[in-house]
Amino acid sequence: MGEKVKVIPIAKSYENEIKEYVKSVQERGLKTPKLVGILATSDPAASSYAEWTGKAFLSDGLRYSLIRCTDPLHVESHLQALDADPDVSGIIVYYPCFGTQPSYSGVSMDDYLRDSVSPRKDVEGLCWSYRTALYKNVRYLEGDANRKCILPCTALSVVKILESLEVSSVSKPPGRRMEGKTVTIVNRSEIVGRPLAAMLANDGATVFSVDIDTIYEFANGRLEKCDLEAKECVGKSDVVVLGVPVKSYKMDTGWIKPNTVVVNVASFKNYEEDKILSVDGVRVVGMVGKVTVKMLERNLCRLHKQYSVEGGMGGRESNIKDKVEEIRTWAVVAAGMATVAAIAAVVAARRK
């Protein structure tokens, strides 16, 4: 028989980590991290997520505010204003705003907005800089070891759940934690499926990415067309991630081998629960939302630490360090000017 995995204890461990960070910030007399959300859609799922996010953030001691935007065309100007506001540590846009409507740059308007969020404030890790870094397996922004890249929250929550279940081995170095594991992901969206495939492949897994009409294999940094059928991919897999946004879709339980970990990231259950739990040793994660929100909070704290506290954008300690460095610079300049003046005086004396 299989078992259902409870994610609340997993989320709780990260909640404690976040509260500890907030406490340390307060003890140093600094402002706590602040997230600003932008809601420009009537989509009920987006509205629920915005409400849920706000409650979770405030409960954990983080600051949160929501901008309700009646016209999606105004979202970009809000992004620009928030990017310039040193009190704002992170920004989240609750999509969809425009749906599939194209932009003048060739991509959809929603994709354009994702790329308009500054990497310094992108808590979702979906802007061009972070996406490109992820697909190239670059873990630090601009090669700076103090600027870790932000990873997409839902995909990151799956990775953390796999670590908790000891499918991903944290005792191994990054790049080898999923060695020998095979994963099938039934979703290739830019929000969940594709980033997750890259993250697991970057950690050594062989990943089959299944979409409605194609299957690709991610392995050793390569993306290749796969001739296997979905049934064969699932049958080879130690982990199966389901993310089909259609209520009627149910994976054939007969495809799943014993002892597989099944993670559902869709709004609907992509399996029949009684049947999947009849598979020997299967572990089923029905929802990842609680862990996803903690990853969002964790990303916000990381941005706050990297750019507000250590990055000189409002942290008191950073301002002091900047002033000290400025004084040192001017001291060096003054010393140099004094040396030049002394040399000039000697030269003038000799001429006399």
The most distant pair of C-alpha atoms in the chain lies apart, rounded to whole Å, by 104
The answer to whether the CB of 239 falls within 8 A of the CB of 167 is yes
Phi and psi torsions of 206, nearest 5°: -90, 125
Give the CA distances from residue 30 to residues 48, 75, 92, 231, 276, in Å, rounded to whole numbers and listed in that order. 31, 29, 22, 54, 49
Residue of 153, 226, 233, 301 with catalytic role: 153
Any residues with CB less than 8 A from the CB of 203 and at least 6 apart, and which?
A: 159, 168, 174, 175, 176, 177, 178, 179
Query: Catalytic site residue 153?
Result: yes
What's the rounded Cα separation, in Å, for the pair 133 and 146?
15
Give the CA distances from residue 4 to residues 167, 181, 187, 263, 284, in Å, rounded to whole numbers and listed in that order. 16, 21, 22, 10, 5
The answer to whether the CB of 262 falls within 8 A of the CB of 285 is yes
Give me the sign of the Cα torsion angle 212, 218, 223, 227: negative
The answer to whether the CB of 238 falls within 8 A of the CB of 167 is yes
Catalytic residue IDs: 153
